[in-house]
Amino acid sequence: MAATSSSLSSCLLSDHGIAAGDPAKCYTAKQAVSAKSLSMSSRLRHSMEASRLSSTTTRGPARCCSAVETKISPLFTLGKKFHLDDVIEAQQFDRDTLNAIFEVAREMEEIEMNPSGSQILKGFIMATLFYEPSTRTRLSFECAMKRLGGEVLTTENAREFSSAAKGETLEDTIRTVEGYSDIIVLRHFESGATRRAAATASIPVINAGDGPGQHPTQALLDIYTIDREIGKLDGIKVALVGDLANGRTVRSLAYLLAKYKDVKIYFVSPEVVKMKDDIKDYLTSEGVEWEESADLIDVASKCDVVYQTRIQKERFGERTDLYEEARGKYIVDSDVLDVMQKHAVVMHPLPRLDEVNANDLITVGNFLVMIQSSFGM
């Protein structure tokens, strides 16, 4: 069963904030699926994103996000409305926050299924400012906002078709755009760009992917999906496969997995795109067991989740030789599926190239393919 990314994003939007994300493409042995922000499958993504949006934006002079409840501790209570600060990185979330977001996301799924939608964000405007290509991420954020009654201002190629092409700084662009909107969803080609934007803006800013840095809203969707499909987050084994050096989705997912107990993470990648030391050092500091392996078949047989990613050609620049060295080395096909446990799932954040053999996934026994409108890498 696939969750919709709208639900997850709507959950953040509905608490007087704005947020969204993309769900991951999921292939599974049973059923596969995939803050100010968050998201899931095309429907689940919209709800998650709507939830993110509603919990991050405040109308009027005071733009900061704070708990709706009067109690200072905890920040929020499950079942109650809550506000989040800028969504910049996965590390900013703790387990209580994640549980609260997911509870609201489930409520947003019901709203998303209602043909009449909701008006809880009527009068709010979200600006989607994308300096890199995106299909699922941008559209899922915008869909979540509209389903909750809000309006959208968008630019899908700000790098070429905005004042950035004339040399305008990101900071100046943010100062201008915040004058037209109540929340900004930013995708940028530079790692750390969202942090710069949030430091400049007086309204909430959501990181929809910053170069090879992070993609926290995708990670929120992925964690939500794993919980729905596997039934737990503690004690699971997850294989992160593919371009681990440049893949922002795997970086953010690793940070979130570290919030849970007795998790083990396997890194499977070509030598030229191995996971960077900062992630491995963080996992070690948090007491999370991790292991690097070159044997996808062996790792897949042990894992609850195989999270496959594409080799990102756009990150190699002129080093096409390194790209050719990395691509096609690890492919999820019938050989991998044959050794996976019956409850295990294969997930992919999309877009997909040749690293997942969809024909094998469709024809192998009880494996079901689900495309969850991913955030996109």
Active site residues: 136-137, 166, 187, 215
Tokens of 218: 């995708």
Cβ-Cβ contacts under 8 Å for 171 (sequence gap 6 or more): 196, 197, 200
Q: How far apart are CA 75 and CA 177, in angstroms?
A: 29
**Angle made by CA atoms 40, 45, 49, in degrees to the nearest 5:** 120
Residue corresponding to tokens 């496959």: 308
**What does each C-alpha distance from 27 to 70, 139, 240, 357 come to in angstroms?**
43, 22, 15, 11
Helices (H), 114-266: 136-147, 170-177, 193-200, 216-230, 248-257
- For residue 148, which of 185, 174, 111 has the smallest C-alpha distance? 111
Cβ-Cβ contacts under 8 Å for 319 (sequence gap 6 or more): none
